[in-house]
A and B are shown apart, each in its own frame.
Chain A
Amino acid sequence: MSRSVNDGLTPEDFLPLHRDTFQILVSLADCDRHGYSILLDIAERSGDPRSITPSTLYSSIRRLLESGLIKELHERPDSEHDDQRRRYYRLTTLGRRVAELEARRLQRLLSDARSGGLLPKRS
């Protein structure tokens, strides 16, 4: 019943990413995390504790799993201090590639904004 939609898709095909999706990928870029940890990380980075709700988070996770951008871990990285009921997720190679491409895309947008005078030029 798995509905894997990445058959034959290149990383570029995923772009542009939805904001929440990108946030989740960024959150998983440096370490494996469980759902709540992702939510906390995003809240911290965005400065908005309600930037993503629990149901939206897991909807996005489901979609990312199905499209093969993240995977669920069978081992538990931090099993001693951890809630048994939690599942951990890790970026796949494809997911990492997609996140990088999205970051570059955003970077280009930013540099465009700079050259247009919308942002101060880098020193």
Chain B
Amino acid sequence: MQEPRVVLFLYRLLLRLYPAHFRENYEREVLLVFRREWSKQSSRAPALWYFVTVATAVLTDAPKEHFEILVSDLHHAFRKSVRSPWFTVVAIATLALGIGINSALFSVVKSVLLQKLPYGKPDQLVRVWIRNPKQGYEHDISNWPRLEDWRRARSLQSVAGFTGARLILTGATEPLQLRGASVTANFFGTLGVRPLVGHDFEDGDEQPGRPRKIILSHGLWLSRFGGDPTITGRQLQLNGLSYEVVGVAPPRVRFPERDLDFWTPIVIDDRGRRSRGNFWLNVAARLRDGVTLRQAQKEMDKYSRALAEQHPEDREIDGVALVSLRDDLTGAIRPGLMILTGAVVFILLICCANIAGMLSARVADRTHELSVRAALGASYARVVRQLLTEALLLFVLGGAVGIAAAYAAIALLLHLAPPELPQLQDAHLDLTVATCSLAVSSAAGMIFGLLPAFQAARLGLVRNIRQGARGISGHLDSRRFRTTLAIGEMALAMILLTGSWLLIRSFRHIQQVSPGYDARDVTIAELQLPGSKYPDAQAIDFYTRLLDRLSHAPGIESASGITNFFLGRLPDSATFSIEGRPDKISLPLTTDAVTPEFFSTMKIPLLRGRFFDGRDRADSLPVILINNATASRYWPNADPLGHRITFGDPGSKGSRWYTIVGIVGDTTRAGPDQPAFTESYSPLAQIASRRMEILIRGTGARNALQAAVRALDANQPIIHFATLDAALGEQTALRRFTTFLLTLFAITAVIITGVGLYGLVSYLVTQRQQEFGIRFALGARPGNVLGIVVSRVMLMAAIGLVLGTLGALSLTKLLSAMLFGVGRFDVGSYLAAAAGLLLVCLAAAVSPAIRAVRTDPLIAIRVE
């Protein structure tokens, strides 16, 4: 039977499934046999059946052919890798570093910045802040009357208020201090979260006199109550009062703080419901369906203007700012993470450049071998396939090691992470991210490394065999390509190094800032006395007796108390007036109650006047100490001693006037990178507080405090024990985290660049060894040859450094907000980075340069 053309065409098409090598050798004969056999078929039906049989055979045999080649190539690639272990190790390590660091950081970025919050329709959730520029707060907290007003805003579906709360759990075991939040009854409803066990709060739970309720966090429920599913309805003794457990929150709900134990309804008396001048309530809201943040902001702006006309207090503020909840939660870490993300992208680029350079060199190196193989009958495609398999083996191994490295890196990141990272605890390796990093580096290696090399190889194969094996490695294009890559790497490394150096210098400046007090050997602990048990006078008495006991304990030099040692983002502060001056000062003055020994414990100097002492009792003249910043700001040319100030409205009947009795030194209680606040201190005896931070100078502070507290009240827990140095460390933790990581990344980048450069220089030396041999034979001195190698490296380094400096000059703008005591154009940092990189370049060139100098003149003859 005559075969139709279409059958032959189809069969030929099927044969394309075979490897090129097979087709080149056998396709012609296979087709010949096929046509003979086809012609024997008597009619259409058997012919068709025959075609099905042969087609099926192709479909089953062709993959086997490919598989056999793969196995053989892998075998070959493996042997090759073992034979050049340095190449293999460096390539795998480079890939693993790039993939590992990128996967880890992008996974973290994804979980911190991009992962959905564990709330219903989280994109609708916003924080509602007051803009309060007069008091120096871009975002300030609010109060009840405003929350009620906002509940009438059309674009807000639901508005919830919350504030921090502390409760002491007593009962069967040791008393336990719990951290939590007092929230409006609609808090969980606004978040779109339903309790895992039990039910939500009910409307009206905020009214005074209602039974006390509590919702437990998942963590507390598991740790303290063993995940008891029948917990609802149980009564807990908190601060000496009875609270009914109504529910347990789902595991990932950690709002407003990361480590929360409970939520309880906020209870507000009539005064709190009316007072519009205070700042104490945090507010979150849910946008109505279909309303965008911008639309809502627009409405709130209009609404705020209307409210300001009704309420004089609202004229002091500048409306409200709606911030998406996610942005609000990640605000602190976002700039740092963005910088680190940029850094790891640079590392990936450097790794890609290195891999591309290495692979390109590999192909170039083996041109002669490939030429010989090609001459012995291996097809060009077969040669390419072999090289691709070798590269693939490297990528797979590099990827595997990289993913393992990423797991380790994430564990390290979690370990180093400061507490400001709210969702970092949920960070896990994202395999999509890991796969993407692997794909990018592999693709880069293939596209920029192998492809150009193959093209060069294709041109050079035949020529090379004639030329006696110098190969395309001497090919100008390949050399230029690798040089360009190395220069690019150096430029990127220079940018990273400059950035990290700027951050390191900032950090060092911060550490050198004099805090205004002596933190050494001081331990800080927090106590919160329950109001039910300790009215004001009793609380003062408790702390007086506690400190008295402590100061007599062995090893304790001094002990004292302050309401808040560290000033947070929004410290307790108030507007105030100076007697005899008509203007109310809106810039807030912090007010903290201290025990008389506070200044001696912390070694804060007295500049003028006197410290507090036994004279300052509850019933004596109200006195106050101010810091130097306050004195020089408000009494620039006068002595503030004896002047009186009051907080709030000076005209009101109940206003209390405080006489300034002393001026003390400034401190950096707000953080070493923050300017000194305007601060004031009152004696605890005159401004009672149940919550105090105890500062103890001396050894054995922890035991002494525990013993003293137990002796006074066995049911009183101590919260949060730490050395002051450690607590201070937390203040700069985020900065340290960013600085450390950027430095780590910069060092990684420099090392990879150094390795890449070493590879390139050794390569160039090998290339020119014959030339060097001739030079030596003609009488050149080692210095001449050394000069050739070093000048080449220095030229590359110079171009890289110039490009890197230009990049750094523009990119360090992103770092501006994190710099302290150092400008972004700080010449010293640029010079240090350049010097560091130059040193690495020289180190990378040393061994190849020595090899060049030691070239045997006879090599000129031997190579040929």
Find out whether the CB atom of B54 lies under 8 angstroms from the CB atom of A53.
yes
> Which residues of chain B are within 8 angstroms of A36 by Cβ–Cβ distance?
29, 32-33, 36
Contacts A1-B373, A36-B36, A50-B53; is A55 near B25 (CB within 8 Å)?
no
Find out whether the CB atom of B53 lies under 8 angstroms from the CB atom of A53.
yes
B13 part of interface (Cβ distance < 8 Å): no
Find out whether the CB atom of A54 lies under 8 angstroms from the CB atom of B378.
no
Find out whether the CB atom of A54 lies under 8 angstroms from the CB atom of B30.
yes
Complex CA–CA separation, A54 to B55 (angstroms)? 10
Find out whether the CB atom of A35 lies under 8 angstroms from the CB atom of B15.
no
Q: Main SS of chain A's interface residues?
A: helix
Minimal Cβ-Cβ distance residue in A for B38: A54
> Which residues of chain A are within 8 angstroms of B21 by Cβ–Cβ distance?
1
A110 to chain B, nearest CB (A): 28
> Which residues of chain B are within 8 angstroms of A62 by Cβ–Cβ distance?
22, 25-26, 65
| Proximity string of chain A (33-63) to chain B, C-beta cutoff 8 Å, 1 when within and 0 when not | 0011001000000000110011111110111
- Report the stretch among B56-64, B163-171, B284-292 that lies at the interface: B56-64
A58 to chain B, nearest CB (A): 4
A86 part of interface (Cβ distance < 8 Å): yes
The listed residue with most A CB atoms (<10 A of its CB), out of B40, B61, B383, is B61
Complex CA–CA separation, A56 to B21 (angstroms)? 16
B52 to chain A, nearest CB (A): 10
Q: Of B22, B32, B53, B68, which is within 8 A of A83 by CB?
A: B32
A30 to chain B, nearest CB (A): 21
B142 to chain A, nearest CB (A): 78
Minimal Cβ-Cβ distance residue in A for B75: A3
Find out whether the CB atom of A85 lies under 8 angstroms from the CB atom of B33.
no
A87 part of interface (Cβ distance < 8 Å): yes
**Interface set, chain B 373-394, CB cutoff 8 A to A:** 373, 376-378, 382-383, 386
> Which residues of chain A are within 8 angstroms of B378 by Cβ–Cβ distance?
1
> Which residues of chain B are within 8 angstroms of A83 by Cβ–Cβ distance?
32
A101 to chain B, nearest CB (A): 23
Q: Of B18, B26, B377, which is within 8 A of A61 by CB?
A: B26
> Which residues of chain A are within 8 angstroms of B29 by Cβ–Cβ distance?
35-36, 54, 58, 85-87
**Interface set, chain B 133-158, CB cutoff 8 A to A:** none
> Which residues of chain A are within 8 angstroms of B61 by Cβ–Cβ distance?
55-56, 59
Find out whether the CB atom of A54 lies under 8 angstroms from the CB atom of B37.
yes
Complex CA–CA separation, A1 to B376 (angstroms)? 8
Find out whether the CB atom of B32 lies under 8 angstroms from the CB atom of A59.
no
Q: Of A1, A2, A55, A86, which is within 8 A of B57 by CB?
A: A55
> Which residues of chain B are within 8 angstroms of A2 by Cβ–Cβ distance?
376
Find out whether the CB atom of A59 lies under 8 angstroms from the CB atom of B54.
no
B119 part of interface (Cβ distance < 8 Å): no
**Interface set, chain A 53-80, CB cutoff 8 A to B:** 53-59, 61-63
> Which residues of chain B are within 8 angstroms of A58 by Cβ–Cβ distance?
22, 26, 29-30
Minimal Cβ-Cβ distance residue in A for B31: A54
Q: Of A3, A54, A63, which is within 8 A of B34 by CB?
A: A54
Q: Which 7 A-B pairs have the closest CB atoms?
A: A1-B378, A53-B57, A54-B33, A58-B26, A53-B54, A54-B30, A54-B34
**14 cross-chain CB contacts under 8 A:** A2-B376, A35-B29, A36-B33, A36-B36, A39-B33, A54-B29, A55-B62, A56-B57, A59-B61, A62-B25, A62-B65, A83-B32, A85-B29, A87-B29
The chain A residues found within 8 Å of chain B, CB to CB, are 1-3, 35-36, 39, 49-50, 53-59, 61-63, 83, 85-87
The chain B residues found within 8 Å of chain A, CB to CB, are 15, 18, 21-22, 25-26, 28-34, 36-37, 40, 50, 53-54, 57-58, 61-62, 64-65, 68, 72, 373, 376-378, 382-383, 386
Given contacts A2-B376, A36-B29, 12 further A-B contacts (CB under 8 A): A1-B373, A35-B33, A39-B33, A39-B37, A49-B37, A50-B50, A54-B30, A55-B57, A56-B57, A59-B61, A63-B68, A86-B32
